[in-house]
């Protein structure tokens, strides 16, 4: 009984991710001068599971996301309209969104912690891969 209660009280989202709706995340990001990062995944995506097992558990990634973003993890097959709005065609896709809902940029595919921090930092700094 106690174990069932503990499981029921556990957050549905782990690691650096917030349990918020997309509009609430935009509002929170605007209040804190941050951006929203949405990790669009699917339950059958191998690279998505690898991100969960490695990158999203890395302490440096968790800290970076907490300082600069309001991070969401959304199943693209559940959040179909939002995935369509941002043109998601591959998984995982991490979309960085300004508080007004406009896309700042995206990262596609698995990134290890170092690769994610470099690419996401460049993206937030306005650098492109060609810079």
Task: Answer yes or no: 48 catalytic.
Answer: yes
Please, what is the end-to-end C-alpha distance for the chain in angstroms?
A: 57
Task: Answer yes or no: 45 catalytic.
Answer: yes
Question: For residue 81, how far is the Cα from the chain centroid?
Answer: 17
In the predicted model, residues of the chain with pLDDT beneath 70 are: 1-14, 129-131
Q: What is the pLDDT of residue 7?
A: 38
Q: What is the pLDDT of residue 131?
A: 57
Give the SS3 label for residue 59: helix
- Of 37, 45, 97, 107, the catalytic one is 45
């Amino acid at each position: 009984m106690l174990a069932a209660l503990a499981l029921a009280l556990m957050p549905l989202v782990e690691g650096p991710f917030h349990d918020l709706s997309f509009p609430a995340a935009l509002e929170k990001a605007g209040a804190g001068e941050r951006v929203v990062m949405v990790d669009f995944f699917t339950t059958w995506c191998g690279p998505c599971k690898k991100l969960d097992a490695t990158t999203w558990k890395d302490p440096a990634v968790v800290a970076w996301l907490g300082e600069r973003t309001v991070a969401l993890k959304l199943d693209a097959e559940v959040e179909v309209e939002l995935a369509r709005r941002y043109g998601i065609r591959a998984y995982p896709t991490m979309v960085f969104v300004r508080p007004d809902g406009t896309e700042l940029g995206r990262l596609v595919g698995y990134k290890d912690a170092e690769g994610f921090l470099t690419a996401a930092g460049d993206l937030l700094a306005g650098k492109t891969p060609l810079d």
